[in-house]
Amino acid sequence: MLPTVPDAPAYCPTRHCRSIFHRINGLNYHVREWGDPTLPLVVMVHGWMDVAASFQFLVDEFQHEWHVVAPDWRGYGQTDWSGQKCYWMPDYLADLEALLDLYAPAEPVRLVGHSMGGNIATLYAGVRPERIRCLVNLEGLGLPGDAPEKASGRLAKWLDEMRAPPTLGTYDSLAGVVARLQKTNPRLTDLRAGYLAENWSRPGPDGRYEILGDPAHKVVNPYLYRADEAAAIWSAITAPVLWLMARESDYAQRMAAYPGYAERIALIPQVKRAWIEGAGHMMHHDQPAVLAGHIEAFFAASAAPPLA
C-alpha cells in the first residue's frame, strides 16, 4: 500500500454515498447515489477529466433532502472505458438517456451539468425537452465556433493523434495527486483536495498513481464545434434553465466576451443567468454552499412541470 498524505485530516462527507453499477450501452457504468430513492430526484453529470465524486461537497451543502444520482461518464472513474481510440458527444447523450430510462422513465427530471456535462445536459434538454423538468448549467458553455477553413487542420491533427495516442501523467504518491489538483485550482482546500485525489486516482501496476480517466479523452474532436447547430438545439428547450458562471473563471470570462455568445444563451426560452462570486471553473469545489443555495432556490421556483 503506497503512502497517502501523511497526517492529513480527511474530509468527512455529511451525506453518505452509495456506489451502484448498471449495464448501459454495453458498458459497466458506475453511478453514485445520495439520499433515499423515494425523495425527489436530481441527476448530476460531471465535466471533462472529472468524476461523479466531485459533487460530494455540493450534495453536502443542500438544505433539503434529495435523491441525487451522478454517473461516472464512460471512460471516467469506475465506469468502463469505451475501448475506442476517441470519444464522441452523441454517445454521452445516449448514455444519459439510458440512465434516465432507469431512474425516471415516466417523469421529467431535475438535471445539473458541469462543464462538458453541462454541454451534454443542455443539448439533451433541447433534443428531449419533455424529459427535463428544469436544468442547471454550470459553465457548460460550449465553444465559440471555428471558421470552416480550419476543418482540414483539425482533421489532420485528429489523424496524427490516432497514430500516436496521447497519454496521461502519473504521480509517485497520493500527495502528488493532491499537489496536482491544487496547482490546477489554488482555491481547493487541503481537505477537499485529499478527498478528490482518493476518488480521482488509484495506484497503478507500477505503484505510481494514475488518473481514473481514459487517455483517449484527450484526442481532439475531428470536427469543428457547430455553434449554429448548438444554438438551434438550445432554442428548443422548454424547461426553465439556470445558467451559472463563476466570476474568477478564465473560461467563463473568455466566453462572455465572445461576440454573439450572450445572444446564443438568450435563445433559450426560459433562462436565468447568474454569477458565482469567489469561484473559478470548478465552482462546486470552490463555493459549494453558495452554489447549493442557487440551485435549491431555482428548484423551488421551477416546481411546476415543463411547458408542453
Written as nine digits, the cell of 7 is 497526517
**What is the structure's pLDDT at 1?**
35
SS (H, E, C) 153-221: HHHHHHHHHHHCCCCCCEECCHHHHHHHHHHHCCCCCHHHHHHHHHHHEEECCCCCEEECECHHHHCCC
Identify whether the C-beta of residue 242 lies closer than 8 Å to the C-beta of residue 295.
yes
DSSP secondary structure string, 234-283? HTT--S-EEEEEETT-HHHHHHHHSTTHHHHHHTSTTEEEEEETT--S-H
pLDDT one-digit tens code per residue, 169-197: 999 999 999 999 999 999 999 999 999 99
Written as nine digits, the cell of 242 is 439556470
22-to-31, 46, 141, 269 alpha-carbon distances in Å: 8, 17, 29, 34
Q: Quick one: average pLDDT of 196-214?
A: 95
Identify whether the C-beta of residue 233 lies closer than 8 Å to the C-beta of residue 265.
no
Identify whether the C-beta of residue 30 lies closer than 8 Å to the C-beta of residue 78.
yes
Architecture of domain 17-145+226-301 in CATH? Answer: 3-Layer(aba) Sandwich (3.40)
pLDDT score of 5 more than 70: no
- The β-bridge relationship of strands 132-138 and 109-114 is parallel
This prediction has a pTM of: 0.94
Domain residue ranges of the chain, discontinuous segments joined by +: 17-145+226-301
Identify whether the C-beta of residue 30 lies closer than 8 Å to the C-beta of residue 99.
no
38-to-137, 200, 215 alpha-carbon distances in Å: 25, 29, 38
d(CA 136, CA 257): 21
pLDDT score of 97 more than 80: yes
**What is the structure's pLDDT at 8?**
62
* H/E element, 41: strand 41-45
* SS3 assignment, position 100: helix
pLDDT one-digit tens code per residue, 19-63: 999 999 999 999 999 999 999 999 999 999 999 999 999 999 999
